[in-house]
Structure 1
Amino acid sequence: MSATACTPGTSHQDAKPPSADPSASSSGGKNGTLTLTDAIDRLKVSRETRAGYKRNMFRLWTDADHDGCDTRKEVLLTEAVKKPHQGKYCKLTGGSWRSYYDDKTVTDARKLDIDHVVPLAEAWDSGASKWTAQRREQYANDLGAERSLVAVSLGPNRTKGDKDPAEWMPPAKDATCTYATDWIAAKLRWKLTADRAEAKALHTVAVSCKNATVRFTPAP
């Protein structure tokens, strides 16, 4: 199993859609393959603060390649199990998706959220508060990594909110290892820190994810 960011030059559109099978997440990374425990140990443990955070400090859903499809639509197109029809102005109709947080099939794109695996507020707490506005925009629209953004059901995503793994894990039992690797890969990719409770929770998860590995590419 691995959860990763794509190598530079590989777009989110080119990545394989996620699977309920954790072993399906894979990609290249300059840092090689790490065991889940080693990847957790690579995270810098630090106190977090949310002072000054506002969601609008992260500009969302841009259309970086000017193809008419914003970040949300790009993720929906990539992760569709059955491709939707793409109409004028990238209007999507039909299609189906598998929400791995709750292991459910969704056939209406309006019932999906595009989740930042590491939420914007959590990113702010753990390093993004020191970034430029441009860097935060890049993070919020990260199509260069296969698993930083995922299409998931509204329910579990709204329940998750800004929580980290010490406070929330996906309700589907088979999603635990995938989520942990996705989380760690995103944090390592963007050089974000972890607090002590978060690191402890991840180590607890790692005990049950013996074969889990993490590969990531640092964000450009």
Structure 2
Amino acid sequence: MTISWTAYRRARRRSRQAWAILVVLAVGLVSAVCWFFTAGQFAAAEPPVTGPSDVPVLDPSWMKPVLPVRAVPEGSAAAALDTLEVKGRAANDNYDRTAFGQAWMDVDRNGCDTRNDILRRDLGGVQFTEGSRCRVAAGQFHEPYTGAVVTFTRGAESSKAVQIDHVVALGDAWQKGARQLTPQQRQNLANDPVNLIAADGPANQEKSASDAASWLPKNKAFRCHYVARQISVKAAYKLWVTPAEKDAMKRVLASCPQQRTVVPP
């Protein structure tokens, strides 16, 4: 069988095109594999940037503000940060949680303890235990530290999944000025709604007493509000920041220069 010269050229052209496509695909596959094993696996591991950009402070219809040492300065969070004293962390050898009073008191005298106040404030679809108008039994919320939707159910073990976080950890506060406060002022700091957020239990445990230099929420969409909230609390209770902490806060706020302090209504 004789093949014409035209047919032969056409066949060779198609062959070259096929090989070119295979080479492009091979290069693309190799590039994808290289990307995954260098930067891609870490990018894939990051949580999605979702969730609220902030959380409420209080609902005036049933919550009352706690009296801080001084009012939270209104305006730019970055400007408020520049008013905070900067110095090293004091020793933590004599820290005791009881220095901040009994946990979850009813400091605003609305008839409900602080933990249940914050659960009621932050959760949606709240259900109360039978016969109570305070004790939160269940609810759901867009958890700010992870960006995940979390369901709360009261129980000996299940309650641990949702904890109330001190945005400025009490251990951190103790090392940065709180030991100079009066017992009443420390009690207010521990129960101030500005300093409290319902949060994912494991994330809260991971944070422990860290400041912004050593821990930030994995949900990047929440970091500006989180840092602004820490600055607001430290300004209100005359607490200082370390140089590394201030640098970390400034880096976060550089991405949101319009971020304001968190002021109760």
Indicate the larger mover: 85-94 or 124-133.
Answer: 85-94
- Deviation, 1:70, is 1.0
Deviations 1:70-125 (A, max 9, x none): 11001101111222235335332232122101112221241211011000011111
Q: 1:85–1:92: 8 Å Cα contact kept in structure 2?
A: yes
1:67 to 1:128, Cα distance in 2 relative to 1, 3 A: same
Indicate the larger mover: 112-121 or 90-99.
Answer: 90-99
**SS at 2:63 equivalent:** helix
Q: Distance in 2 between matches of 1:4 and 1:198?
A: 24
Q: 1:116–1:149: 8 Å Cα contact kept in structure 2?
A: yes
1:175 to 1:207, Cα distance in 2 relative to 1, 3 A: same
> Which segments of 5 or more consecutive residues in structure 1 lack a partner in the other structure?
16-28
Q: Distance in 2 between matches of 1:4 and 1:153?
A: 17
Q: 1:58–1:137: 8 Å Cα contact kept in structure 2?
A: yes
Which one of the candidate residues 81, 84, 95 is aligned to 1:40?
81
Counterparts of 1:142-157 in structure 2, within 5 Å, are 142-143=192-193, 147-157=194-204
Q: 2:72–2:232: 8 Å Cα contact kept in structure 1?
A: no
Structure 2 residue 137 is matched with structure 1 residue 93: yes
Over alpha carbons, which structure has the higher Rg? 2
Indicate the larger mover: 114-123 or 44-53.
Answer: 44-53
- Other-structure match for 1:25: none
**Count of paired positions:** 198
> RMSD of the alignment, in Å?
2.7
From the two aligned structures, give the one with the greater helix fraction: 2
Q: Distance in 2 between matches of 1:2 and 1:93?
A: 24
Q: 2:176–2:240: 8 Å Cα contact kept in structure 1?
A: yes
- Deviation, 1:56, is 2.3
Structure 2 residue 234 is matched with structure 1 residue 187: yes
Q: 1:185–1:214: 8 Å Cα contact kept in structure 2?
A: yes
Q: 2:119–2:198: 8 Å Cα contact kept in structure 1?
A: yes
Relative contact order (alpha carbons < 8 A, sep ≥ 6): 1 or 2 greater? 1
Counterparts of 1:108-119 in structure 2, within 5 Å, are 108-109=152-153, 110=159, 111-119=161-169
Q: Distance in 1 between matches of 2:237 and 2:61?
A: 17
- Other-structure match for 2:106: 63
Q: Distance in 2 between matches of 1:72 and 1:107?
A: 16
- Other-structure match for 1:77: 120
Deviations 1:14-36 (A, max 9, x none): 79xxxxxxxxxxxxx674312x3
The AA in structure 1 aligned to 2:248 is A
1:80 to 1:13, Cα distance in 2 relative to 1, 3 A: farther
- Normalising by structure 2, report the TM-score: 0.67
- Other-structure match for 1:21: none
Q: Distance in 2 between matches of 1:182 and 1:12?
A: 22
Q: Distance in 2 between matches of 1:214 and 1:68?
A: 29
- Deviation, 1:187, is 0.8
- Deviation, 1:136, is 1.3
1:31 to 1:5, Cα distance in 2 relative to 1, 3 A: farther
- Other-structure match for 2:177: 127
Q: 1:3–1:181: 8 Å Cα contact kept in structure 2?
A: no
Q: 2:73–2:261: 8 Å Cα contact kept in structure 1?
A: no
**SS at 1:107 equivalent:** strand
The AA in structure 2 aligned to 1:188 is A
Q: Distance in 2 between matches of 1:115 and 1:141?
A: 11
Q: Distance in 2 between matches of 1:203 and 1:58?
A: 29
**SS at 1:106 equivalent:** strand
